[in-house]
Every structure is written in structure tokens, then in C-alpha cells.
Structure 1
């Protein structure tokens, strides 16, 4: 990746961040009316106010977030109360099963369900009442239903909802074996939307009186619980926790971006190209072997001397028609820094070897040494 492309990418990144900041500053935030009973949610139908103000709202000793459903078995019914809003998600079955298993022991539960009750469209005269506290259900396009229980037996009614002239129970006490369950039909009445209203806050405070002076064990509606950790894979546990889930996705995005930039910066592998082999030496060895094995040293000597004279013509730019010419001898002596007598001596010897038809293998070696000796003195490569 060259420097110009890096500058373009950095500039594009800075421009994108600037645009996002400007959009965040000047854009009008839209209200999220989606029903999500999360303790971190500040949307109208979130539980941020309820969770953070629950101790003050109810007069509870303390609010404890349940991390493991197994902890519910160790609660003291005289001092502890379970608080659970059922959102009917994939973890609801496990939570309710664990709570039902507590029927053999004495315990108290505040329970609100968002789906499993009857409902009617809210009309202008719709009101909810608990003891002396009344709350008008504000008619709007987001909360247009009033929820209530249809058929009730052996229960104590605490709160009601009035639709025109009909009165229905929406808050009651159930007693089953040693369990005491305070069941509310409409958890929306405990959301941020209603708690921000003085009447709604007063209604929630009256409804949550059973939690007064108790230790409240809060079960997260949006959390996946598992009683057997051996059946829970590490990834399932990570995805079940909002914080770990967000960190996991950030990690995946970072790895993806790293791989993209690394692939751009990584230099491509340059293939190894082997140079072409110089076979001239092998060729010379083959030819020499052929001559040597043929038993004709005279041919080798003649070719060796002819090639030597060719080299002299090429190097010194002189004629070799008459090797005993005075000029020829003079030039060879000057080039090798030897006497002319020495030149005449080795030329005569070469000529005799060239003319002798009965040369032997030892004469080939002699020819080689004569020529190489002169080439060394004359610095001929």
C-alpha cells in the first residue's frame, strides 16, 4: 500500500468521523418505543428508572442482581423477595422452571408477565386502581391495551383496571403451597414512561409495598440463565451477556479490519527465477574428452594452437600469417614483458608440435603449459 492511498484512507476515515459527529449534534434523536424490559434501557418502555430507583421506591434493604438461578434456593422467605418480569423470551422457561421448583420451600415472588393475559383496547374511561391510588391509562398509539386476568379462583385481588363500567383484576396475590406470589398483568406500568409521571410513580410505589424492608433479588428479563454450566458453551455464555456480546462483535470487527489492511500491506511473494546455466564449460569438457579418448592428440594440439593464434589476433590486433615475422615477435615480447629470444623459443616449439605427425598425449600437456604460461605473462584471460 503506497503512501498516497494511506493518506486517502486516513482522510476518508476522518471525514466519516466528522460527519457522524455533526449528525449526532444536529440530528433530532428519535424515541425508541420498542418494548424491551432491560435495566439499562432509557427508552419509554425500558426499566432503567425502576432498577436504579427500586430500593428507594420500595423501601427495600438492598437490590441484588441474580447471577445464577441456583442462588434462589438459598433465599430466606422472611427477608428475601424474588422480582421477575417475564418477557417470554428463550430464557423464560428456564427461569419459571427454577422458580416452580421452589414450591416445596417457603418463598415470596413479585411477578409480572407481558403476554399471558387477556387485554382490551384502552378507552377514555380506562383507569387502574390499587387501594386508594388511581392511574389514568394515557391513550396513545404505543400503549393501546389494558391487560387483566380473566378467570380467578382462590386469589386475593390487590389492583383492578376499569374499562367503561367493567372492573377486572390486574394485580393479585396467589398462594400455592408455601409460595406467595404477587402477580401483575401489565409490566408496562413499571416502565420509564409511567414512572416519570407522578401518578404512575405513586401507583408503582403502592404496588411494590410487599418489597418493603426486604432484600430484593432481581432476575434480568433479557438475560439467558442456565442451571447447568456444563451444557453452556463459552460462546453461548458470551452471547448471553450484553457486555460480553458487544465486546465479542467489536473483536470480530477489529480482526476483520486487521485482515483487510494486512492483506493490502503484505508484499506478494516473488517467485524464484533460476538463471540459465552456462553450459559452455561442460561442452568444452565433452569435446576435449572426445578428442582425448579418440587417441588423436595431433588434432587437439593443432586446435589448441590455432585457438591461441586467434586469441592473439583478437587481443593484439596483429596478423598471424607468419609467426616468425620480426614485428609479430616484437609485439608478443612487449606484451608479455619478455625477451624476443624467449618468444622465438616458445613459438618454434609450438610450430614443431603443430607440424609433428607423431605427437603423443604428453605433447598435449606440453602445448597447454606453453600457451598458458605466455597468456599469464601477457595477462590474457
Structure 2
């Protein structure tokens, strides 16, 4: 390797090292995506509330990474259990909704905190929710409790919030536990209810402010509100935390996705790939031998045929040339138009004229000339020229 190539490689290596240092040293941007995962410590994750729930009950706190149908399909295995679902939206398919309803019907409890709920379970409970896009969306609002004794436990949420509320409930069965009011106290909407379900003491708790359980608000003096909401749940129940219906649920289906999801592994992969490309470029340029140019074999069939024709013509062997042209023409008719050439009948002439796009008169003239020339043993130059002109005129539509 010459001096110039070494200097180029050293320069590239220095640039890569500088890029790595800059990438490691730069401050990481705050991730504001909705997650609600128990493992996420980002602002809208639920790492804090998940760990606080461990002290909520003396019973163990379990997590579920499967769909509700998979977990609750045999709901008779559960008793005195509270299932906690927190996400910006909860949408269940028919099978999971039926499993959830049966789970509560057997005497268990479900707590759902979401800005949007849909599915058979929501229809069954007559639950409809809405985010206020026209009014005080993301404007300061206060979540308060229906009980006067809990008046001081209400909380104003002035940022990182979407003001969602419940627009439809089962008025004959549901119990309103909390409201959402705007800063001017001119609007008050339901945002927390309890709906008993079944004959065994089971109940749904529906809450419309999942942001209140995020790390951001739990660590910004809003933890008392979240604790008050959870205080309505049965104290002696076992807790089952759902970690499946999460906007931030990590789905890794391939090794490459796993590598790219991890910052350190991602940059290692990129640097290795870049190094491999540089190696191939420089190594291939220095060692690849020249590929010789191989000229393709020339097709001399046309020249050979022309030479043989000239030879016959110069010796005045017109009969041989005429016979070969007739033979070639008839073979052309058989292979191109799929017509038998054993007999030149009127029917043959009609079919040949149609298939070759020639008129019947020209076709008949050519066939008559061929018939005449085949009946002679000796031919003249003029007859050869006449045959050649008629064949060229006949086949012009096939060129």
C-alpha cells in the first residue's frame, strides 16, 4: 500500500473516531412518545407507578405480556384479582372482550385508565369516551372526586395532558367517582366511574386520564391524585399488571430489529458495516486482476449464403438457384403460416392470401409462377429475376 492510500485510510479512521465521540458525548433527546410500559423510565412510561403498586397490597404483583384472551381464557383460575390496564387507548377484539367480561362476572375487578376505549366490553358497559378537541384540549384542567371528603385530593394538570372524559355510561348501574373541570370551572365532565358487573361482586373501574399515572406526573407532585384513584380498588385483591396493551410495547421479531433497537449495538453494526465497505473498496481495487475482453464469435451465415449464391449465379446455374428459392419459400410458408404445400389448390391460395395479408390475385400469380417453374428443367436469368421480385413483394408484409 502506497503512502497516499495510507493517508486516506488514516483520515477515514480519524473521522469515524470523531463521529463516535460526538455521538457518545451529545445529550440524549427526551423521548415523549406514549409508552405506559412498566419498564420505561421515559416521561410517559409507567415505571414509577408499577413499582409503587408493589406496596399497594400485601398480595404479589404479577405482570402479563400476553393478550387478555390468552391470560383470561380460563377465568375460573382467578379469584379476588384486580387487572390493571393503563394506556392511551384500549381496544379489545371480541374474544378478549368476552374473556374480560367473564373474568369480572366471576367476582374479579378490572381497572382501566385510558383516553379511548372500544370493543365489545365497552359496548356492553355502554361506555363511550371523547377527547375535547374543540375546547380545552391540553389546556389546564382539574381532575376532582365526587366525594366531598376527597375535595383536597383533586389535582390540576396543566401540561402533558389530553382532556378526555366519559360521554356515555350505564346510568342504572354506574357510580360516578370523579369529574374533569376546566380552569374556569365552566365545564364539568365525568372522568372516573365504577360499574358493578355480574352477581359475584365484580366491577369495572373506568378512568379517563391515563397521563396521571405516567412517570412525568408521578414525579411532579401529582402522585397523591393517582394514589387516591387506586384507593377505590379492593385492598386485598391480588394485582395483575397488563404489559401487553401498551403503545410502547417492544416487539422484537428478528435479530436485526433487536440490534437496531439498542443504541450501542446499532452504532457497532453501522461502524462494522462501514468498515467492511471501505475494506472491500480498497482491497478490491488493489488486488482485482484485469478481466480480458472476449470478443463474441461472429455469425458468418449470411456471408456464406451470399457467397454460395454468387457462385451459382456467376456459373449461370439458374435452375439450381430457382429450385432452392422455391424450396426455401415453401418451407417459409409451412413454418410461418402452418399450411401444407403438397397441393396448390384454390383453397390453399385463399388461405395463404388471408394469412400473409396479401391479395388473392398476387398470391395466385406467385403460386402459378412457382408451378410453372417447377415443371421446367432449364431456366433463364429473367425467370430467376421474376421469381425473386414476386417473392420479395409477397413477403414484404412479414418484414
**Which TM-score band (shorter chain)?**
0.5 to 0.7
Aligned residue in 1 for 2:99: 101
Shift of 1:243: 5.5
Deviation at 1:115, TM superposition (A): 3.1
* CA deviations over 1:190-249 (Å, ceiling 9, x no partner): 112321244x21221121131634332222213669xxxxxxxxxx75279985761598
Distance 1:125 1:149, change over 3 A: closer
CA offsets 1:158-217 (integer angstroms, 9 cap, x no match): 22223415543211122344652111011011112321244x212211211316343322
Q: Does 1:7 align with 2:10?
A: yes
- Hey, what's the Cα distance between the residues in 2 that align with 1:238 and 1:73? 25
Give secondary structure in 2 for the equivalent of 1:137: strand
Structure 1 equivalent of residue 145 of structure 2: 129
Matched, 1:264 2:264: no
1:258 CA displacement: 5.6
Measure how far apart 1:127 and its partner are: 4.1
- Deviations 1:61-106 (Å, cap 9, x if unpaired)? 23222122313335544332221124348xx445x74143342342
Q: Tell me, what secondary structure is at the counterpart of 2:168?
A: coil
- Structure 1 residue 222 corresponds to structure 2 residue 239: no
Q: What is the rounded CA distance, in whole Å, between the counterparts of 1:182 and 1:188 in structure 2?
A: 16
Superposed structure 1 runs of 4+ greater than 6 Å apart: 122-125, 239-242
The residue matched to 1:3 in structure 2 has which SS? Answer: helix
Q: Does 1:156 align with 2:175?
A: yes
TM-score, normalization by structure 2: 0.52
Question: Is 1:115 paired with 2:137?
Answer: no
Contact 1:238–1:244 (Cα < 8 Å) also in 2: no
Counterpart mapping for 1:119-268 below 5 A: 119=132, 120-121=135-136, 126-129=142-145, 131=147, 132=150, 133-140=152-159, 142-143=160-161, 145-153=162-170, 154-163=173-182, 164=185, 166-177=187-198, 180-198=203-221, 200-209=222-231, 210=233, 212-220=235-243, 221-222=246-247, 238=253, 246=261, 250=266, 253=270, 256-257=273-274, 259-267=276-284, 268=287
1:63 corresponding residue in structure 2: 61
Contact 1:61 1:215 in 2 (8 A): yes
1:146 is displaced (CA, Å) by 2.9
Does residue 47 (structure 1) correspond to residue 46 (structure 2)? The answer is yes
Q: Are the equivalent residues in 2 in contact too, given 1:223–1:240 (CA < 8 A)?
A: no
Give the corresponding residue for 1:79.
80
Q: Would the aligned equivalents of 1:156 and 1:172 in 2 still touch at CA under 8 Å?
A: yes
Contact 2:63–2:240 (CA under 8 A) maintained in structure 1? yes
Q: Is residue 130–residue 203 contact of structure 1 (8 Å, CA) maintained in 2?
A: no
Deviation at 1:113, TM superposition (A): 1.5
Gaps of 5+ in 2: 118-128, 293-399
Provide closer, same or farther for how the CA distance between residues 79 and 127 of structure 1 changes in structure 2, counting only shifts above 3 A. closer
Q: Is the 8 A contact 1:54 1:60 kept in 2?
A: no
RMSD over equivalenced CA pairs, Å:
3.9
Could you list the runs of 5+ residues in structure 1 that have no partner in the other structure? 226-235, 274-381
User: CA distance change for structure 1 residues 139 and 242 in 2, over 3 Å: closer, same or farther?
Assistant: farther
Distance 1:74 1:244 in 2: 37
Q: Deviations over 1:132-177 (max 9, x none)?
A: 152232334x43x532212322212222223415543211122344
- Taking structure 1 as the reference length, the TM-score comes to 0.54
Q: 1:168 aligns to what SS in structure 2?
A: strand
